[in-house]
Structure 1
Amino acid sequence: MTKREPATDEELLNAVGPAFGKLRRSMLLEVDNPISQKDLSRTLVLNIVLEAEQGDGREITVGGVAEYLSVDPSVASRMVSDNISAGYLVRAASQRDGRRTILHLSPEGRDMMDRFRRHQRAAFEQVTADWAEGERLEFARLMLKYVDCQNALRPR
């Protein structure tokens, strides 16, 4: 909860952007089975690969990670290499174009993402512990709707 409720609709809407900026930082809440800062950063890449594997079957390359995160390809390459070194990702030849190298989650990467999802759920439950159940569910529905709309705007 903010220290002062926005007084106008305009103030409320202007407060949304900074609130989103704080969300990522707040994921480090002290909850059971916490995620390290390093692994939290790794989940940025792992999430992209997992979503592609579970979604439309897109093949994810280092370039795709760079594009999705809006970072320089060299930055994405270092992030991917770190995940490979940690045992969370593996490289494989594309089945569509053997010249391309694509990324897959390893069994350890899947375990990390399962643990991260449990961490996210625990953090959500901790933050909203004093909310009415209807508020928690409505917020969850609206957050999912927001993310779906945002993804629909993303160029494919």
Structure 2
Amino acid sequence: SRAELAGAGPALFRLVRFWSRRWATASVGEPSDDTPLIQDVQVLEAVDAAARHGEVSVTDVALQLGLDRSGASRLIAAAVDHGYLTRSASGRDARRVTLDVTPAGADVLTGAHAFQEEVFARLTAGWDPAEAAGLARGLRRLADETRPD
């Protein structure tokens, strides 16, 4: 019913704001020079998602992140500097740059995904298993339906 859905939108955005600011320190303690930045994780997620369709360009990352090319380019440059991505000439068009996740970047993604699974398990630990499974299905569906690819 409509009453059951009331407040779901604001609740979703509260969760997004809350967790988007906390994943790194919660997963590894106090940040150090080696701690991946949330921006690095976001770029890696974007490259990983876009790679399902072939070579990944700056434009692909910009689309995934909802940014203009210059904003995406700055984030990509930082991820390259941190050793998480490589840039190379496209195999299809030498004028284009293609982006690939490095082994270090893959490790960051693996760690981020493990942390995300741990957070979900902690947050739903006291829930009825059927309710937690229902939320998991709903979240996956929502994420799949809003994917920009």
Q: TM-score, normalised by structure 2?
A: 0.82
- Stretches of structure 2 lacking an aligned partner (at least 5 in a row): none
1:18 matched to 2:10? The reply is yes
1:56 matched to 2:53? The reply is yes
| Identity fraction in percent | 31
Count of aligned pairs = 143
- Stretches of structure 1 lacking an aligned partner (at least 5 in a row): 1-7
Q: 1:101 aligns with which of 71, 88, 97?
A: 97
Q: 2:108 and 2:11 mapped to 1: Cα distance?
A: 27
**Alpha-carbon spacing, 1:22–1:34, altered in 2? closer, same or farther (3 Å):** farther
Moved over 4 A (4+): 29-32, 34-38
Q: Deviations over 1:78-133 (max 9, x none)?
A: 11111011111110111121211011101100000000001101111111111111
**Alpha-carbon spacing, 1:56–1:19, altered in 2? closer, same or farther (3 Å):** same
**Alpha-carbon spacing, 1:38–1:146, altered in 2? closer, same or farther (3 Å):** same
**Alpha-carbon spacing, 1:26–1:72, altered in 2? closer, same or farther (3 Å):** same
Q: Deviations over 1:32-70 (max 9, x none)?
A: 5459586222111100111233x233x221122122222
Q: 1:95 and 1:112 mapped to 2: Cα distance?
A: 26
1:76 matched to 2:69? The reply is no
